[in-house]
Structure 1
Amino acid sequence: MTDLTLNVPHGYRLNPGTDLLDLAARLRETMEPIRDRIEIEQIAEFAAKALDAADLAGTPRPESVIFDAVQAQTVHVGQILSGEHSCAPNMIKVAVTDDPETGEVYALVFPKQQAFAQELDEMELGDYYPYWKEEDVDQPRPTGVSPPNGRTGQRPGPGSCAAPTRWSPRACSPSKSAPPTRTPI
């Protein structure tokens, strides 16, 4: 998938009567612990790198390794947000719109981490309603996202999709537009 504006593997037709403020609170309550766990894992990776570097160099281990790791993770998040790194940020984005003709409300959810995508599959937000336009990308329609009547570039109708499509976030690497930088440990 190369353009999330054209291809949305996590689209939902919300249940009638869904209160959007309740939905936002429910998403926050569900996703914040996942975000916290991801950040703790990232801090642990920075701490392990600092300890490994000291051990390999034969120098004493830093006394403030956790503080240093938290600082390194904070710098890394800043690099992601500024575009210096192309790592997936620890967040999800949700766009909600309504169909003025039918009154149905739709949510497009853009999870940036696999753990968020997995939890979305369990939340029962409404009817799974993804969108995939093969003409605009070089990739075929993913398993579970099938076009109605065999036509591409259209939203599948209710019940025409299999299980939600899962995707893997790409590995962290500096973005092509920013010069490579070193993350202090």
Structure 2
Amino acid sequence: MSWDFDDFLKKAEDKEETKSSDEIPVISIRNSRPSFPKWFWMAASAIIVFGLAFIFNFNQNKISDKENFVKNEVLKQKNEFIAENHNHDSQVAIHITDSASGAKKDSIFQENTIAESDVLDELLSKKSRIKKERKPKYVYNSAQRSLADSLGYKDSYVIVNGKRIDNVEEAINVTKYSFQVMAANVNEALKPKVMDNVE
């Protein structure tokens, strides 16, 4: 290959001319239309979204209908119950008149009486049902005071480090002294120790 510069330029220009005259057309690999068009997928997704919305809305209506049905049934049964039980005086558990206790009525419908008193009236004889007046009994609280004193507790002293102290200033001084002793012991414990015989 012993070329001149002129021969090289001539050869290079020839290649550029052949490229421009022999352009190769670009062929796309894809067809002009896809196998499943975009509108197909869009329609399918829209149908799915509307279907789910319809199902949830339909179920919500069922739940609210059931709730309303239950409310109406409860109110209807409540009204029927009230209509049946509106006259409390005619509903008597035991209808025996007694001179000591009077006419007995069911304790459920009486606000002031207790059910146990009606049961006791039925179980006990007439003589034991007559209630005696009881006088209130008063008790002196001196016995309780003496018990408190016998325990030995008085709020006028404190115990610091096992010593009974009656004076406030003395208690403060003993407490301060105790803290000083504790602080000194803590300082001694925290001091670094030098060990001479370390093996």
TM above 0.5, yes or no, is: no
Q: Which has the higher contact order (CA 8 A, sep 6+)?
A: 1
- TM-score (structure 1 length as normaliser): 0.20
Counting strand residues as a fraction of each chain, which structure ranks higher?
1
- TM-score (structure 2 length as normaliser): 0.19
Larger Rg: 2
